[in-house]
Structure 1
Amino acid sequence: MTQQIPVDEAAATGAVLDDGTREVAPDLAYKRLAIVNVAFWGQPGAPGWVLVDAGLPGTAGLIRRAAAERFGDHAPAAIVLTHGHFDHTGALATLAEAWQVPVYAHPLEHPYLNGQASYPPPDPWVGGGVMALISPAFPRGPVDVAGRLRALPEDGSVPPMPGWRWLHTPGHAPGHVSLWRENDRLLLAGDAVITTAQEAAYGAVTQQTELHGPPKYFTPDWESARASARRLAALEPESLLTGHGQALKGSGMREALHHLARDFDSVAVPKKGRYVGHAARAEDGSAYRRP
């Protein structure tokens, strides 16, 4: 079962710019790289901007060109990660070295980002399509950017992004975070919730607009994922940008988000699978595997 969002009530938000990015707010744009989004925060043409997530392997050039189009010759202040899965860190090492910038992530993600640990195996039996079936072929890490890695502060601030706060939204990954700006109720949810059916190749490629829980094949803790979805719904966001799918806004989006949170077990959790009832968590070390 999926939760379909009526497009007339929860339309995609943001104008498409010449460089292929879509602007959600004057200081926030995102670019789709095949199946995943990266976000650019900061005033166009100004220094001190931030890249949120780092795309698939091989996309460093695309990200740098989009950044140059939006910010000119200014290097970013930092790269902030929602989590460390391969489709969010594919160009991370290349970009961090080229720009000579720090990389911020939740401490529970650090073992995946400093060479110490790999993610637990994906689950190809969760259903939904070919993306799930081929998930064992996806990289699980680790990435090693230890020399540039920094912990997000315990007070919830995001050092290079004034006005934003990070929220711990685990389930899809132990240290998964979402980013929240209260003054305009703008939510960057990472993969805690997404706006397309990521398990199916058709959905991943076409980005058909639906609201979903995190990608099933890479989610090892469904109890925490449920709590995270409910935490995000309670924020009552006005605009929602996720790691996969189009950005959405308005009352239709909020209604669908509440539906997902309320009925999470029937809407988002697979009927069967490796982690259904057997979570891999940071607390007991089962979320971290030898690389």
Structure 2
Amino acid sequence: MTLPSPALKIGELEFVRPDVAQLRLPVVNVFFLGAPGGPWVLVDAGMPPDAAVILRHARRTYGRPPEAVVLTHGHLDHTGGLRALLEAWPGVRVYAHALEVPHLTGEAPYPFPDPTVGGSMSLLSPLLSPGPFRFTESLSVLPGDADAGEVPHAAGWTWRHTPGHSNGHVSLWRDADRTVIAGDAVVTTRQEDMLRAVTMQPQELRGPPRYYTSNWAAAQGSAAALAGLRPDLLLTGHGLPLPHAAPALDELVREFGTRGTPPRGYYLQHPVPVEALRRGRPDPMRSRVLGAVGAVLALWLLLRRQ
């Protein structure tokens, strides 16, 4: 096993397995599945400015476009660079869970970010567009049933439905070396704190980013499902890789009420049902109220720092 560096720098690509690399970007991580020089799959697409960095590492490491892009979910920090990547890689297919599709084909926005959960990044979360985003021409549904299936073009990898952070959130699992790419189902940094999340990143296993999680009971269930896999290496959408992760995941599940769930927040009392979009779109009044609260809090934060 190749142990990850304890201090992976922003913009660096590091192979944590012989055929799995993490690219740390300013806000989020993306992952490359495949040995250098061969066919590969990109997992997630970062923020809009990240596309150039992803393209540069893809050219240096593989010299070819990916066979596919797989999305753990469709929030802006995981799809922001996707438009530019698809322009550079015409014909590459994008795969997501069926419950993410309405957000990625222009049909419905995500539930609005909740700026009331605490933390400076949470206050700024209303600046993260909830969409809807439109990638209709390139989008395919992940194969399998509603709960699991094989990852296209990535032999040995399967996907598991891990909702809570978003309805169609998935994590990727490889049984051969017990590696899991958890997306934002759990993270290894305090993502709500801008200083910690973007610069310092001290390692701390926590639940999903609180400002963009809309069903906390489902999120706890997904953390428990990941713990049940007994992973040896945990890779997450935010934070540094965590080796020998199974005991830490067990502890997180036991303490999810404090380390996972926020002490306050709109979606604690108003969870979005996991299959809500099969019955209708998110409540527009809810989005407007949270948007107004977020705008006021963000303005207060900016004025306070003058």
TM beyond 0.5: yes
Give CA-to-partner distance per residue, 1:193-212, whole Å, 9 cap, x none.
Answer: 00000000111121111001
In 2, Cα distance between equivalents of 1:201 and 1:241? 20
Which structure's relative contact order is higher, taking Cα pairs within 8 Å and 6+ residues apart? 1
Cα offset, 1:108, TM superposition: 0.3
* Structure 1 residue aligned with 2:94: 103
Q: Secondary structure at the match of 1:125?
A: helix
> Match for 2:264 among 240, 248, 272?
272
Q: TM-score, normalised by structure 1?
A: 0.90
In 1, Cα distance between equivalents of 2:282 and 2:79? 17
Q: Secondary structure at the match of 2:83?
A: helix
1:152 corresponds to 2:159: no
Cα offset, 1:77, TM superposition: 0.5
Q: Secondary structure at the match of 2:207?
A: coil
Of 81-90 and 153-162, more deviation after overlay is shown by 153-162
In 2, Cα distance between equivalents of 1:185 and 1:276? 32
> Match for 2:228 among 227, 230, 234?
234
1:69 corresponds to 2:69: no
In 1, Cα distance between equivalents of 2:76 and 2:131? 7
In 2, Cα distance between equivalents of 1:61 and 1:161? 24
In 2, Cα distance between equivalents of 1:194 and 1:268? 10
1:85 corresponds to 2:75: yes
- What value does the CA root-mean-square deviation take over the aligned residues? 2.0
Paired residue type of 1:276:
L
Identity %, equivalent residues: 49
In 1, Cα distance between equivalents of 2:3 and 2:208? 19
Q: TM-score, normalised by structure 2?
A: 0.86
1:189 corresponds to 2:182: yes
Paired residue type of 2:75:
H
**Off by >4 Å, runs of 4+ in structure 1:** 14-17
* Structure 1 residue aligned with 2:115: 124
Paired residue type of 2:239:
G
Paired residue type of 1:201:
M
> Does the CA-based 8 Å contact 1:104-1:151 persist in structure 2?
yes
* Structure 1 residue aligned with 2:290: none
Paired residue type of 1:157:
E
Runs of 5+ consecutive residues of structure 2 not aligned to the other structure = 288-306
In 1, Cα distance between equivalents of 2:250 and 2:49? 36
- Write 1 or 2 for the structure with the bigger share of helix: 2
Cα offset, 1:35, TM superposition: 1.5
